[in-house]
Amino acid sequence: MDVIDVSDLHHHYGSFAAVAGVDFAVREGEIFALLGTNGAGKTTTLEIIEGFRRPSGGRVRVFGRDPVADRTRLSADVGVMMQSSGLIGELTVAETLGLWGGLRSRPDSPTDLMSTVDLTDRRNVAVEKLSGGERRRLDFALAIWGRPPLVILDEPTTGLDPESRAHLWDTVSALRAGGSTVLLTTHYLEEAQALADQVAIMHTGRIEVAGTLAEVLTNQPARITATVPPAVPLPHFHGTPTVDGHTLTVATHHLQDDLYTLLRWAEEHNVRLDTLAANPASLQEIFLSIGKEKV
């Protein structure tokens, strides 16, 4: 059974369709990254999965249950980090974790969690005095309290410095290694590319591309670019060449063959390919092409 199953999900705010027919499934023990442009509908989708919002249409199941009707029952097994936190400003970090522990059925250690999110030195500081990144880390600690089987994180690394981001991703990987399933949104594509097992890219309420990273990336062409002299006729490539000024770009599914063709051509015509670059498809490129095509 999938941990999360979303089918034909719709959500309207008044007459505006924020989510317009979304399908995806999150399997047990994987990190699933929901990516997308601003306003794509990611947070709305997460809030529906968390049971905080009733969908306008479609079906969502979390551990086989309806997240709205069974929210109380599911809450023991689901840790949530929302985009904006509901922390109480007057409480210290340690008090916040202590209070949270009293509300959760799973056991955990505030001391260990403070160490995990690197807030041990800030344990006696009131939440209202914490920096934005420190608050985000405290929010994260609450979401992973008790290492729940499902953790849902809405932009967990936004506002964190690079070191804290890397550390948070290490913790997310450790959660996966411990058997938890993680659904998250992020605007840091390189992080999603490094760590997610599956990704889905949303744009204007729909999923445009989805699958395992390998699936998503192999369907996209790699790219060769080089500066070429104007007068020499180009060779035949498997991929599609375009020339803009002196810059040749070849979008290709045969990176090695087309690179070899270009290098052989350069040697035969005594051309120096000073700016030569060959890049496999990246999420960044897919993401940008989705944004460009659809805007």
Q: Which residues form the interface with ligand ATP (CB under 6 A)? A: 13, 16, 18, 36, 38-44
For ligand ATP, the closer CB: 47 or 258 = 47
Q: Measured from the CB atom, is 16 or 163 closer to ligand ATP? A: 16
Q: What minimum distance in Å lies between the beta carbon of 39 and ligand ATP?
A: 3
Q: Report the DSSP beta bridge partners of residue 236.
A: none
User: In sequence order, what DSSP letters do the residues of 219-234 get, joined into one string?
Assistant: TS-EEEEEE--SSSPP
Contact 168, 191 (CB under 8 A): no
Q: What's the rounded Cα separation, in Å, for the pair 208 and 206? A: 6
Distance of closest approach, residue 205 Cβ to ligand ATP, in angstroms? 7
- The residue (of 9 and 144) whose beta carbon lies closer to ligand ATP is 9
Rounded to a whole number of angstroms, the minimum distance from the CB of residue 164 to ligand ATP is 20
CB nearer ligand ATP, residue 82 or residue 278? 82
Joined together, the tokens standing for residue 124 give: 């006696």
- Least distance to ligand ATP, CB of residue 230, Å: 43
CA 153/CA 134 separation, integer angstroms: 16
Which of 68, 66, 44 has the alpha carbon at shortest distance from 54? 68
The residue whose two tokens read 């810059």 is 247
Is the Cβ of residue 37 or residue 252 nearer to ligand ATP in the bound state? Answer: 37
| Shortest distance (Å) from residue 54 CB to ligand ATP | 13
- Compute the residue count for the chain: 295
